[in-house]
Structure 1
Amino acid sequence: MTNLKLFENKQIRSDWNEEEQEWYFAVVDVVAVLTDSADAKDYWYRMKKREKVSGFDLSTICRKLKLVANEGKKYKTDCATKQGLLRIVQSIPSPKAEPFKQWLAQVGAERIAEIENPELAQTRIID
């Protein structure tokens, strides 16, 4: 079931995997939103090449799913879960992605603090 999500008034194609009970999101759509690239597909291609040279293959956290494109046809598209997208966003060297990375760092730090001190988690839940 293909679905559209909106982020900053831009569409992010997504697909629900019933077996895994998980949403998969079109990586090129997220790249387009976070980079303002004229060609998000090319940006994603070059990003995968760069990261592979660095020792991590971003393709390993993606799955090719057939999603509907603008012209109404379905094409195989790299898609990732929320966790995979978080990893991909870390690799985007764009000023537009920086606020999102800062937010991820803050949330991560808060969760680590809650693991170290469970009372913090209880306080957050109460608030």
Structure 2
Amino acid sequence: MKQKKTIEDYLKTIYILSKKKKVRGIDIAEKLKVSRPTVSVAVKELAREGYLFVDDMFEIHLTESGRKIAEETHERHNTLFCFLTDIGVNPKTASEDACEMEHAISKESYEALKSWYCKIR
């Protein structure tokens, strides 16, 4: 699971879910539309990489480094989504495109876009 997009998608999903409830593998599988075994493998790898941990009740928690990546990814998504909808893209397409763009855009380009966008809003 060394792909940046996959790591960011899992961490962002856990972050969003954790705002509403305790996170378990089944919740991640449902949200990402993947199988429970796929989530199990991913969670083990993300835990090995230090992005999350699973407690004795099988609840999944982000570590500080996992939370940082998740928050940054979530912010990029929200900014890109707002930008796209503001320029007339329908919300469904904007959400799908923002999900792809949030992983591909460089930090420099994102910061420049965000700065410009905040000025014009």
Higher relative contact order (CA 8 A, sep 6+): 2
| TM-score after normalising by structure 2 | 0.39
Larger Rg: 1
Relative to its length, the structure with more strand (as a share) is 1
| TM-score after normalising by structure 1 | 0.38
Relative to its length, the structure with more helix (as a share) is 2
